[in-house]
């Protein structure tokens, strides 16, 4: 495992000696001074802002990817990323996970079977994974468009559970309540009770953190459903399906590719979940109204 004083593989602009280095990245949020302009007046004040830092992921001491992320729940993030990217087949083969915080970023080093580590040389991520990017550095179409996972039918989720989860989630977004700039991914049980929430400046990171937390906590993602406070992009559908999530609901709209991937994998895709309204784009048969009738699937125009 890398020694604690090793400089992580971070962008040159964030290495020691650069003006942005040495600012400290230990907290997910911090207070910053600002000047508020309103109707010809200037008022000095402060606001809480979300941090984003370079997080270097290394496997068996070999750098693999640098993702820009919120520096919280990084163990969950590392496990979730490792599983949803199919670097290993199960969390049980991860032998060791170390998080080392540096002034200019964070290094997460994992020990995995050498056969799995060797395969990474064929799809090394050469670029930085920015907060809005789920595929930065993927070099081939085959890596980006992995074969859809075929999900079993699974239990039915009451439509009322969706309304409950959407209602319960906002008060649990602790960091976003301070900053107004973070995405959240939440897991709710079949009744809609939200049991886990993870937040990050990147929607993909938030989902990786959530899925990692589920696995580390010994929870079965198929026993409930996932809600994300973002659009439903195909990367989110892909990551969810890899870990066996059968129902994914988003507060914003889906992309066409996300719908096609959900249809192909058997994942129930819901979008525009707001209040007591939502659109079902794929596999509505997993949803039931109060009378137990399946919900029809909306066909995109």
Domain containing residue 196: 157-288
Same domain, 112 and 164: no
What one-character-per-residue DSSP string does 242-287 give? Answer: HTT--EEEESSPBPHHHHHHHHHHT-EEEEEEETTEEEEEE-GGGE
Question: Among residues 63, 121, 115, 126, which one has the least CA distance to residue 89?
Answer: 115
Q: SS3 of 28, please?
A: coil
| Sequence-ordered strand ranges (E) for 3-76 | 29-38, 41-50, 53-59, 62-69
Cα angle: 225, vertex 229, 210; to 5 degrees? 50
> In three state form, how does the secondary structure of 98-156 look?
EEEEECCEEEEEEECCHHHHHHHHHHCCCCEECCCCCCCCCCCHHHHCCCCCCCCCCCC
Task: Read off the pLDDT of residues 159-201 as tens digits, 9 standing for 90 and up.
Answer: 999 999 999 999 999 999 999 999 999 999 999 999 999 999 9
68-100 b/e (C-beta count within 10 Å ≥ 16 → b): bbbbbbbbbbbbbbbbbbebbeeeeebeebeeb
Residue 45, domain member (yes or no):
no
As given in the structure block, the two tokens for residue 140 are: 């081939």
Angle between helices 234-242 and 74-84 (to 10 degrees): 90
Number of domains composing the chain = 2
Same domain, 88 and 177: no
CA distance 291 to 281: 21
Residue with tokens 């993927």: 138
Residue 43, domain member (yes or no):
no
The whole model's pTM is what?
A: 0.83
Burial of 252 (0-12, 13-18, 19+ CB in 10 A): middle
Residue 36, domain member (yes or no):
no
Same domain, 181 and 128: no
Active site residue 133: yes
Same domain, 56 and 106: yes
Residue where a domain terminates, one of 111, 144, 177: 144
Same domain, 16 and 140: yes
Task: Read off the pLDDT of residues 93-111 as tens digits, 9 standing for 90 and up.
Answer: 999 999 988 777 888 999 9
Same domain, 169 and 135: no
Marked catalytic residue, from 2, 127, 133, 294? 133
Output the pLDDT for position 167: 97
Residue 258, domain member (yes or no):
yes
Same domain, 130 and 196: no
Same domain, 123 and 247: no
CA distances from 286 to 80, 167, 222 (A): 25, 21, 12
Output the pLDDT for position 243: 94
Same domain, 118 and 207: no
Question: Among residues 186, 205, 207, 213, which one has the least CA distance to residue 197?
Answer: 186
Residue 140: is its pLDDT beyond 50?
no
Output the pLDDT for position 197: 97
- CATH number where 97 lies: 3.10.20.10
As given in the structure block, the two tokens for residue 215 are: 């696995």
As given in the structure block, the two tokens for residue 261 are: 């991937």
Cβ(155)–Cβ(179) below 8 Å: no
Output the pLDDT for position 169: 97
What one-character-per-residue DSSP string does 286-298 give? Answer: GEE-TT-PBPPPP
φ and ψ of 280, to 5 deg: -105, 120
- CATH number where 172 lies: 3.40.140.10
Q: Which residue has the higher pLDDT, 231 or 37?
A: 231
Output the pLDDT for position 30: 83
Name the band, by pLDDT with cuts 50, 70 and 90, for residue 135: very low
Burial of 32 (0-12, 13-18, 19+ CB in 10 A): exposed
CA distances from 33 to 45, 49, 51, 226, 250 (A): 6, 10, 15, 36, 33
């Amino acid at each position: 495992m890398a020694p604690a004083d090793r400089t992580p593989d971070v962008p040159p602009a964030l290495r020691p000696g650069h003006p942005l280095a040495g600012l400290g990245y230990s907290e997910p949020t911090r207070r910053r001074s600002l000047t508020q302009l309103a109707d010809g007046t200037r008022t000095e004040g402060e606001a809480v802002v979300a941090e984003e830092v370079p997080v270097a992921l290394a496997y068996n001491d070999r750098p693999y990817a640098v993702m820009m992320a919120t520096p919280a729940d990084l163990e969950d993030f590392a496990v979730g990323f490792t599983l949803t990217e199919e670097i290993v087949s199960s969390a049980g083969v991860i032998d060791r996970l170390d998080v080392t915080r540096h002034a200019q970023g964070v290094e997460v080093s994992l020990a995995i079977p050498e056969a799995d580590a060797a395969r990474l040389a064929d799809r090394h991520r050469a670029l930085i994974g920015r907060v809005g990017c789920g595929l930065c550095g993927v070099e081939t179409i085959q890596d980006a468009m992995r074969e859809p996972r075929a999900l079993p039918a699974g239990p039915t989720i009451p439509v009322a559970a969706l309304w409950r989860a959407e209602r319960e989630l906002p008060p649990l977004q602790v960091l976003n309540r301070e900053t107004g700039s973070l995405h959240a991914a939440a897991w709710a049980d079949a009744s809609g009770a939200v049991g886990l929430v993870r937040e990050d400046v990147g929607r993909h990171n938030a989902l990786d953190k959530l899925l990692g937390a589920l696995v580390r906590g010994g929870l079965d993602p198929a026993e409930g459903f996932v809600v994300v406070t973002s659009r439903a992009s195909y990367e989110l559908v892909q990551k969810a399906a890899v870990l066996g999530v059968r129902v994914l609901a988003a507060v914003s709209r889906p992309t066409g590719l996300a719908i096609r991937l959900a249809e192909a994998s058997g994942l129930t895709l819901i979008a525009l979940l707001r209040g007591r309204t939502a659109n079902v784009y794929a596999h509505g048969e997993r949803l039931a109204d109060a009378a137990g009738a399946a919900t029809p699937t909306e066909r995109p125009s």
